[in-house]
Amino acid sequence: MTECILSVENLVKRYGAQDVLNGVSFQVIEREVVVIIGPSGGGKSTLLRCINGLEAFTSGRIRLDQLEVDASEPSVWNVRRKVGMIFQHFNLFPHLTARQNVELAPRRVLGLPAAECRQRAETLLSRVGLEQFVHRYPGQLSGGQQQRVAIARALAMHPSVMLFDEPTSALDPETVGEVLNVMKELASGGMTMVVVTHELNFAREVGDRILFMDKGVIVEEGNPRELLLNPRNPRTQQFLQAVL
Q: Which residue number, 46 or 236, has a Cβ lying nearer to another protein?
A: 46
CB of 221 to another protein, least distance (A): 25
Write down the H helix ranges in the chain.
44-51, 76-82, 98-108, 114-127, 143-155, 173-188, 200-206, 224-229, 234-243
CB-wise, 61 or 81, nearer to another protein? 81
Residues that bind another protein (CB under 8 A): 52, 54, 77, 80-81, 83-85, 87, 89, 91-95, 104-105, 108-109, 136-140, 153-154, 157
CB of 209 to another protein, least distance (A): 23
| Cα–Cα distance measured from residue 55 to residue 52, given in angstroms and rounded to the nearest whole number | 8
Would you tell me the crossing angle of helices 98-108 and 114-127 to the nearest 10 degrees? 130
Which of residues 105 and 218 has its CB atom nearest to another protein in the complex?
A: 105
**Shortest reach from residue 41's CB to another protein, in Å:** 19
Q: Which residue, 43 or 224, is less far from another protein as judged by CB?
A: 43
Closest CA to 24 of 54, 49, 61, 53: 61
- Residue 31: how many CB atoms within 10 A of its CB? 16
Q: Which is nearer to another protein, 147 or 236 (CB)?
A: 147
193 and 161 in contact (C-beta within 8 Å)? Answer: yes
DSSP state of 198: S
How near is the Cβ of 147 to another protein at its closest, in Å?
12
Measured CA to CA, the distance from residue 176 to residue 170 in angstroms comes to 9
Minimum CB distance to another protein smaller for 135 or for 225: 135
CB of 195 to another protein, least distance (A): 15
Nearest distance from residue 117's CB to another protein, in Å? 13
CA angle (233 as vertex; 187, 10 as ends), nearest 5: 65
